Structure 1
Amino acid sequence: MPFRVCAVLALCCIASPAVAAIVVDGRRDEPEWRAAQRFDDFRVTAPYTLDAPALRTTAWLLSTPEGIAVAFECEHPATVPRLRPRVERDQRRTADRVNFMIDFDGDGRQAYDFAVLLSGSIQDDSITGENAFNPDWNPDWLQAVEEDADAWRVEMLIPWSVAAMRDGSAGSRRVAVYFDRVIGATDERQAFPAATFERGRFVSDFHPIEIPQFRQSTLDVFPYVTAQQDFVRNRNDVRSGVDVFWKPSAGFQLSAALNPDFGQVEADELVINFDAIETYYSDKRPFFTENQGMFDVTTPDSGQLVYTRRIGGPRDDGSGLAADIDAAVKLNGAVGRLGYGVLAAQESDVGSENGRTFAAQRLLLPVDDSLSVGYLGTWADRPLLDRDADVQTVDLSWRPSPAWVVNAQALASTIDQAGSERHGDGAWVRAFWLPTPLQTYEVEATHFARELDFSDLGFQRRAGLNELEITGELRRNVDDPDARVRSRRWRAELQARSNDSGDRLPTVLVLTHTAEFGSGAFAQLEGAFETDGIDDLISRGNGHWRRPARNVLYGDWRSPVRGGWQTESEFVYFEEGLSDPALQLIFTANWFVSDALNLEFGGGPLWSRDWLIWDEANRFDRFRRRALEAEINLNWFPAQRHELRVKTQWLAIRAHDGRRYVLDGSGAMRPTGAPSEDFSLNNFGLQLRYRYEVAVQSELFLVYSRGGVSRHEDDIPGARDLFDEALTLRDADQFLAKLRYRF
């Protein structure tokens, strides 16, 4: 069996680790640190005042054979509260923390974020497109925290093997770095250099430095075994497989998987979606998060050319069951200045039909320090549908000056289904102009042809789109450090759109005002004004609806942490359906019971007098709607290497006073006079997850999951009855044990 062979090879490859000159213990006391580069010109970037901070922060960076060592020293007197909640990896919570970000190639195309909280918890992200953070990336790196009454300190060691990089054989390399610190009590951020991810140019503003470069190779083998008991179907399942990550150098990295480790230990958010656009879900599967940044190519409307949830997603036989994956391989590397990536995956056969095959290839060439050109090609073979999909894209990133960033992309797709071919194309260009630190302007133009289709391996919101978007943002800072409001931001965005047939879609104007307070509080007020226009998606290809004008008003208030509590209140007043009003209230509270225990409570009601949903063909139903959402999450860290998480979510909708409508040939919604059947939907999910860190990147998971969905017609229950019923829903009821060990 391949698994047994790989496991034996892994055991044979175990070697004693090299002794590092830097001991990662939070104390910068080794003599090697005397040669480190020092960075101490930090500036306040949130609020965006660019003032010298009241609390001093100093950072050091040292290149070693084991990796890039980074140290922080953060002045923090006893008069300023310290927030040190322990959280699971990549969980966003208000806390004292530091971030180190590095662009290994120094070209502004991709960077990596390494964050350490005062509690010792960590976060890590890959960054593409200047300021798009992806927390699904989880590399292996070392960190430690040490504190006393006057300050706290952090040490990190970032191995050379965490990411593929160009020119890995040279004796030195030019990188770009960024350091920041967040003071949890006030949510103040101070950074060097004084860049902020809230502007259109971020990674390109990192500070360039020259450092010695060292060659490092690793071979990691992750055999896994999962045992699952399904209490609803009264059956159990045991699976095993192996992931292999081989990095002989920084310029070549290979990932391979046999029966990949795709055990479901992360719970997706519950969503009830009646829209024509599918719901996007992130991917936490280890194989797909490792060095995935090379394939992170997006479109302006949040489309994604390589959406890895397609691989191992619902099968094409309509059963709704997830496909099994036989094998997958990923290759990242560089030849000179040319970076490349290859991804391929083969799903298991379904009956007598072959399983789906997916592939992607990526090339990225920096022509010079200001211009980069990339290529991405994807292919999907779906035998059950007799469908092949080829997508080709070329992208460009150009930074002609510190004030300008220009990105562009051209796309083409070919779909061959049952002997019939369809060809589509598209292109977009986006330009940022940043004339001063307090001003940002953006112009974006998009064209997607009606036949453009990259949804077989990608995530595509729509085709047939022509859009011009113009955005302007202005900041105003308050110099007085004792002022209640330290920074204000005004933003205006205009979207003019049509489909590929020339039909005018609603034009949208969005006005936003944001205030950042010296206390750490945050407030935002936003209004969106949409003209009438064509909605060509709602009927799923059964005609265009001439939708009336609509308005939206949104407000948000987030408090600082006080007495272990932080709250956020939001409201959304919007018009939907035939333009009657709706109101949604959302309240969230985080309770930091102790450093080791925190709880999150959230939810709220929604009232609507005009909920219009598609039924079939050109028939629609119009309801009054009441919806409720509630969520409770608990995170407890009873001891080092032990985590317990409880996640619960409840969604309920009651639709009543229904009336039937039809979309006529003129684009108008016409009432038929017939009633629509009232209904309710009830959705509940519960997950209890225990995680034990056996060793670095070796974990034992014990997961209990339960939940389900119910629908009632005509005699719909009240909110209390729906909640009582939710606790009994049991479409899924299972226990999963998973052990994944790193050799």
Structure 2
Amino acid sequence: MNVGCCVSQLSGAVAAVLFLGAVAPANAAIVIDGKLDEPEWAQAARYDDFRLTEPFQLTTPDTGLATEARLLSTPDGIVVGFRLQQEPGVQRVKPRLERDNGNPVDSVNFIVDFNGDGNTAYSFTVSLSGSIQDGVVSNENVIGYDWDTDWSWAVSETEEDWQVEMQIPWTVAPMRGTDTQAREMTVYFSRQFGGTGERAAFPAVTTENGSFLSAFERVEVPQYRKALFHYWPYVTASTDLIEGRTRYKAGVDMFWKPSPNFQLSATVNPDFGQVEADDIVINFDAIEVFFSDRRPFFTENQSLFDVRTGDSSRLVHTRRIGAEADDGSGISDINAALKLNGSFGNVSYGVMAAVEDDAAGRDFYAARLLYPVSERLNIGWLGTFVDRPFLDRSARVNELDMLWRPTDTLLFNAQWLGTSVDQQGLEYDDTGYWLRMNWTPTSAWAYRLEATHFGRDLNFNDLGFMRRNNLSEQRGSVAYTHRFRDEDSPLGSTRLQLQAMSRENDFGDRLPGSYVLVNNYSFRNGNRINANYSRFTDGWEDLISRGNGLWRRSARNRTEVEFASRRYGDWAFGAGFTAMATGLSAETGRELELWADWFPSDAFNASLTLGPERTGDWLIWEGGTDFGRYSRRGDSIRLGLSWFPGLRHELRLKSEWVAIRASDGTAYVLDPSGDMRATGAELEDFDINSFGLQLRYRYLIGPQSDVYLAYSRGGESRFDREDPGLSDLLDDALSLRDSDQVLVKVRYRF
């Protein structure tokens, strides 16, 4: 008996063929309605050997929870079907969630590497409620969810099981070798059980594995040529409620794919609007905080440019484009941007360009080549150029990278970097490299060795995101995963990892190193505990003074414990505790995070996070060689509410408050010897108060077509005053109004 129904967005296409040795024709259309009832599904490749990977048991799920996945190649794309047994009495967790929300729910996941080379794969997740996630997997096991693409899905539900259909168009990603009749690619399927948080997968690998992508199942499918042209005109109206001024903009995005081996994206007079609010971060560190990019033009077909270093720095960080103008006058407008992706023979290529408005704007250019020397060896090149006329500055970057898998258990990554910056007639050139080896001889053991060297003048920050230069670093780690076979044991699996790191800069100064012990516990009931202990050695801290001298930092410890629960009725909750020294002494500060998710109905959910922190010894840079040593108290509250009154409607409230109070301040000066010397001067108490709120309504017109109505308000303040109370800070936060605006945005795909 059919008791549920379907969430569907586009009709399917003509089903074709898939292998397991033979190719068979398909004669009729598969409709993407969540029901695997067309006769063409009988021709599909089937996968039913799903094993529990979270916890890492490698056993089959309990009776009554069998999973089967099917795969077909059609002229319009890859079609994937899931049949998921879930008998009455087994909890079904199916709240509606905003796109890319990662809450544990009943869901299925399909990941495909179209080139089958382990460089990049594309992830598609559908939950029982019809909510979705889509993302890009790179660097073997790094998944980013900034990418939102055009694909079809549908879900149907009965008392005994539920079914999912997906259609992944051939046009979602650039791919090489498009002139052959068959394509060899690799695939991965998984299923998450929302009631327990468990995951079953085929093949039975996890992202904890250093060679996750390389372990996918290899398949060969018929390949089809598909042409596509779309354009998205947009219009926005933004009203500044402080200035009482309304600004209107209009523009267009375009995507053209005349053949499988060439595609072009372009945008004219783009306006991306503030429809996605960043988290509030108050940063006192010398290293910039990374924020991802959710703007459609810069996330679509961007994977070829997603080149990272070993510390997750990025050679192309698209949030640099359209960021603060070089004269500090505000956000730069983008006149136009262009992106080409394609292939000639086995070589993949990409070209990207963006031009900003006004004299204080910048011009950005990037080019990428990727060549598979063999099935196990890929080499690539990336070049970027940024022109910043207002600063009389230009910056060039050249990069070479290699991915080599000599065996199924051994993986090597290598990268060379060269940068050249011309600043007002002075040139700064330097190089760097990064090497990594992953060895996974068994499903239980994994080893990693890594070496990095970044020269003191290496700089790819003009278009990229670089955490730091002037560094030589060596890392090693070993991890062991233990499976508890005794069914009476409350634990399903544990993972123990030991890491060691040594560092120095280009001047030969030994920087603080570390030894880290990581313990992950996965319980059979779905709860999880992570416990980490780190020992940081003494050494020279060379960033804290922003180039004004070295500080001799003492050895210190860091302890982290985190608990995340499974779903208990309408609730899921967790807690995290961190203790670490943040000042001159070994005295540890304490940070607590408590969170709860509430799902009173499938159409409404709420989340609340509280984050108090306390430390009696907090050292911060005040400028030059001047430092302040304070007692610090921090508090944060994050509230999220989501309501889905209909299939196309979403109303979301996101509110965040972060406050820091610093007291009992004393002044210190960094000596040339590397010691902090107290001056005897007292420093004024201060507090920092930051608040942000966004109320956003979204109406889904159709695929990649939306109407947004968003109200945003927030601001930040710093006061020097005596001992404000928590209620005083909260009252001040609610009155902050650095920005106060209403935005209406319509974007429609033709």
Give the alignment's TM-score, normalised by structure 1. Answer: 0.96
Question: 1:716 and 1:225, CA in 2 relative to 1: closer, same or farther beyond 3 A?
Answer: farther
In structure 2, what residue type is equivalent to 1:740?
R
Partner of 2:659: 652
> What is the aligned length?
724
Partner of 2:8: none
Shift in Å at residue 52 of structure 1? Answer: 1.7
1:286-315 CA-partner distances (Å, limit 9, x unpaired): 000101110111111121100000000111
Distance 1:381 1:716 in 2: 48
Partner of 1:60: 70
Distance 1:555 1:597 in 2: 30
1:48 paired residue among 33, 39, 56: 56
Distance 1:502 1:421 in 2: 24
Partner of 1:411: 417
Partner of 1:468: 474
Partner of 2:496: 490
Shift in Å at residue 484 of structure 1? Answer: 0.6
Partner of 1:477: 483
Aligned pairs for 1:303-342 (under 5 A) are: 303-319=313-329, 321-342=330-351
Counterpart contact for 2:327–2:360, Cα < 8 Å: no
**Aligned with 2:42: secondary structure?**
helix
Aligned pairs for 1:283-362 (under 5 A) are: 283-319=293-329, 321-349=330-358, 353=359, 355-362=361-368
Deviates more, 1:573-582 or 1:491-500: 573-582
Distance 2:280 2:337 in 1: 28
Distance 2:157 2:290 in 1: 41
- The answer on 1:30 being equivalent to 2:38 is yes
- The answer on 1:227 being equivalent to 2:237 is yes
Shift in Å at residue 170 of structure 1? Answer: 1.2
**Aligned with 1:436: secondary structure?**
coil
**Aligned with 2:473: secondary structure?**
strand
In structure 2, what residue type is equivalent to 1:598?
N
2:448 paired residue among 435, 442, 449: 442
Distance 2:267 2:656 in 1: 33
Partner of 2:636: 629
- The answer on 1:674 being equivalent to 2:681 is yes
1:182-221 CA-partner distances (Å, limit 9, x unpaired): 1111111111111111110011111111111111111110
Partner of 1:708: 715
Partner of 1:683: 690
Partner of 1:117: 127
In structure 2, what residue type is equivalent to 1:37?
A
Partner of 1:6: none
Distance 1:101 1:494 in 2: 32
Partner of 2:430: 424
Distance 2:190 2:379 in 1: 30
In structure 2, what residue type is equivalent to 1:472?
V
Partner of 1:237: 247
Distance 2:233 2:554 in 1: 57
Give the alignment's TM-score, normalised by structure 2. Answer: 0.95
**Aligned with 1:638: secondary structure?**
strand
Distance 1:673 1:476 in 2: 55
Shift in Å at residue 481 of structure 1? Answer: 3.2
Distance 2:645 2:279 in 1: 26
Question: 1:661 and 1:354, CA in 2 relative to 1: closer, same or farther beyond 3 A?
Answer: closer
Partner of 1:274: 284
In structure 2, what residue type is equivalent to 1:605?
P
In structure 2, what residue type is equivalent to 1:735?
V
Partner of 2:23: none
Partner of 1:665: 672
**Aligned with 2:732: secondary structure?**
helix
What RMSD, in angstroms, separates the aligned Cα atoms of the two structures? 1.1
Percent identity of paired positions between Structure 1 and Structure 2: 51
Counterpart contact for 1:703–1:735, Cα < 8 Å: yes
- The answer on 1:581 being equivalent to 2:591 is no
- The answer on 1:559 being equivalent to 2:562 is no
Distance 2:501 2:12 in 1: 56
- Gap regions ≥5 residues in structure 1: 1-15
Distance 2:93 2:529 in 1: 22
Partner of 1:369: 375
**Aligned with 2:645: secondary structure?**
coil
Counterpart contact for 1:163–1:250, Cα < 8 Å: no
**Aligned with 2:612: secondary structure?**
strand
- The answer on 1:382 being equivalent to 2:382 is no
Distance 1:571 1:413 in 2: 41
Deviates more, 1:259-268 or 1:469-478: 259-268
Counterpart contact for 1:261–1:286, Cα < 8 Å: no
1:383-408 CA-partner distances (Å, limit 9, x unpaired): 11100000000000000001101001
1:195-253 CA-partner distances (Å, limit 9, x unpaired): 11111001111111111111111111000000000011111100000000111223211
Q: Spell out structure 1 runs of 4+ moving beyond 6 A.
A: 16-20
Distance 2:631 2:610 in 1: 20
Distance 1:707 1:500 in 2: 42
In structure 2, what residue type is equivalent to 1:222?
W
In structure 2, what residue type is equivalent to 1:26?
G
